[in-house]
Amino acid sequence: MLNIDVVKNKTFTYTTTVNLAHNINKVTKLSNELYSTGRIYTGDPWIRGASGVTSHVVEVGYPVGQFYMLK
């Protein structure tokens, strides 16, 4: 975390705080002996823009939260 006093005088103080984070993840398995799949579609295709295309897919070998778009 980084705190910066951008402006500081007798009558006014403006402080900025910056906090950065980076996470790396990867789906290693979605199937077991009762359920078998290679991907799970998430994000309703008829919400937010009504494109009719699913915006997110959870897929083995890829990170969670990755956007799934048409080329």
pLDDT of amino acid 4? 87
CA–CA dist 34, 7 (Å, integer): 61
DSSP lists the bridge partners of residue 59 as 39
- Per-domain residue ranges of the chain: 22-71
pTM of the predicted structure, to 2 decimals: 0.51
Question: pLDDT tens for residues 24-63?
Answer: 899 999 888 998 888 887 766 566 556 666 777 888 888 8
More confident residue, 51 or 8: 8
Question: Which residues, listed in sequence order, are joined to residue 42 by a DSSP beta bridge?
Answer: 56
pLDDT in the model for residue 59: 87
